[in-house]
Amino acid sequence: MNAPLEGLFDRHYPDGPGALQRFRKLLANAQLDFDVEASIHELEAQPQASFPRGMPSFIHYYVYGTPFGTVKKRPADASDPQHAFSSDGIGLNMGCPIRLAHALDVLFSLKPEDQKERLGQIRARKNHFACVEELLWLTLWKRQTEVIRGGELVPRTNDRTFPILDRRLQ
């Protein structure tokens, strides 16, 4: 058992054990190319005068093989282009298990034909975090009836790409 993960789900869900069990089931169905539970890390915050019990710990999973991270080549100086890729962080090479749980809920609520491409993306180390964020975007609208990907946002009225902007510029 993974105690930090259990504590995290207890903090975020009224039924922590049930939510964790659902997460593990969806994680198994996703068949990721890396083991999320084996890469769970907990960073505990030190107590401070204004927070005598300390802040909640930071629990995350780490994905090796992303384009980012301190495990990459160190930049020679501040102007080295490699500098942009030598940082660790959420969405770069670390992920929040709760966000992943929400993304998996969305993923497996899609129609099977809409799941196929997303499963490929969420499994791939280099695209994993972008896919999690894309899936979470689908949860921003209330009273969703049929969640789908793709399509046009606004029907085109002519060959111009931005007709409204074109009228404003005239």
Beta bridge pairs of residue 62 = 94
- What is the percent of the chain where pLDDT is above 70? 69
| Total count of domains within the chain | 1
Helix (H/G/I), strand (E/B), else coil: 36: coil
CA 66-67-73 angle, 5° bins = 115
Q: Between residues 138 and 155, which one has the greater pLDDT? A: 138
What are the tens digits of pLDDT across the range 99-115?
Answer: 999 999 999 988 888 89
pTM greater than the 0.95 cutoff = no
Distance CA 71, CA 85 (A): 10
pLDDT given for residue 45 in this prediction: 76
pLDDT given for residue 105 in this prediction: 93
The domain containing residue 88 runs over which residues? 3-169
Res 93 pLDDT > 90: no
Helix (H/G/I), strand (E/B), else coil: 90: strand
